[in-house]
A = this chain, B = another copy of it.
């Protein structure tokens, strides 16, 4: 199986178990709506790419970590779209979960996905018990409080935001978690990959801000111009488009250059540059090439 196939098969299994016979029907529909069809699955792909670069010594554990990370990302999108945050009616080109099923189901879908993420890692590492706790601790750190996704989201409710701390928690932390978990699952060293995670996470946040600022739906499939309306910090609005495009290119080069010495180093660097092209808004891609 190639990487995307491992991810989709793993997600299908996790969802089949979470929506098994006896599950309240609306919850089951909401859970599937939140995960399928997916977006670019960039975080789990990154996780598996690092695991592969480190020798892919335990493919089952690496896939479980990748699936757990994607489930947590999906959970955060569902909760982030709710009226008390972005109040977004669409996501990935379809209705958001709360628009389709109501706020009550959306709240529970997010909760259920968080639980399913940790359940998946536990279930799929029973054969290799020494991996379970480190993988779960790494993933939990990336999404929880004080430095993960939950904290990142919470910075939006503060009267004063440190934009670096905010982006680090809201976006970079899950990239770091994906990379670290991929390395751990293959017996590699997470430390060797953290510069890459940090640069790539920042690049994604900057690209997201850029799409929002220039009014393109882009690959995220969500409404644009929300940051300005919601009073959220947006680096593209504060620095201006040309400076931000330059910043984005620097981040991508930093990420590519930081790939440590490993079997598939050149392929990995090519993948990152390729990913970066996909990141750039098409209308700006000539000037940003």
A interface residues, Cβ below 8 angstroms from B:
17-28, 31, 75, 79, 82, 84-85, 102-105, 107-108, 110-112, 114-116, 118-119, 121-123, 125-126, 129-130, 132-134, 136-137, 140-141, 143-148, 150-151, 153-158, 165
A156 partner residues in chain B, CB cutoff 8 A? 104
Chain B residues lying within 8 Å of A105, measured Cβ to Cβ, are 154, 157
- A154 and B108 within 8 A (CB): yes
**A129 and B130 in contact (CB under 8 A), knowing A145-B23, A148-B115?**
yes
Given contacts A123-B137, A144-B18, A158-B25, contact A150 B104 (CB under 8 A): no
Closest to A31 in B: B145
- Name the B residues within 8 Å of A28 (CB-CB): 145-146
With a cutoff of 8 Å between Cβ atoms, the chain B residues found around residue A165 in the complex are: 22
Contact partner of A79 (CB less than 8 A), chosen from B23, B111, B116, B143, is: B111
Kindly identify which residue among B26, B119, B126, B137 contacts A119, using a CB–CB cutoff of 8 Å.
Answer: B137
Chain B residues whose C-beta falls within 8 Å of the C-beta of A125 in the assembled complex: 133
The 8 closest A-B pairs by CB, nearest first: A23-B146, A115-B144, A119-B140, A27-B154, A84-B103, A122-B136, A129-B129, A24-B154
Q: Do the beta carbons of B84 and A107 come within 8 Å of each other? A: yes
Rounded to whole Å, the gap between the CB of A143 and the closest CB of chain B is 6
Cβ–Cβ contact B19 & A112, under 8 A:
no
Docked complex Cα distance between A121 and B134 (Å): 11
In the bound complex, CA of A23 to CA of B169 (Å): 10
Not counting A18-B146, A122-B140, a sample of 17 additional A-B residue pairs whose C-beta atoms are within 8 angstroms of each other reads A23-B146, A23-B151, A25-B158, A26-B158, A27-B151, A82-B107, A104-B156, A111-B114, A112-B145, A112-B150, A115-B148, A115-B150, A122-B132, A122-B137, A123-B133, A123-B137, A132-B136
CB distance from A147 to the nearest CB of B (A): 6
Q: Of B19, B132, B150, which one neighbours A129 at CB under 8 angstroms?
A: B132
A18 to B141, CA, bound (A): 9
- Measured between C-beta atoms, what is the minimum distance from A17 to chain B in Å? 8
State whether B112 touches A84 (Cβ < 8 A).
Answer: no
In the complex, the answer to whether B22 meets A147 with C-beta atoms within 8 Å is yes
Complex CA gap A233/B268 in Å reads 56
Min CB gap A36→B, angstroms: 16
Q: Do A157 and B24 contact each other (CB < 8 Å), given the known contacts A31-B145, A84-B103, A111-B111?
A: yes
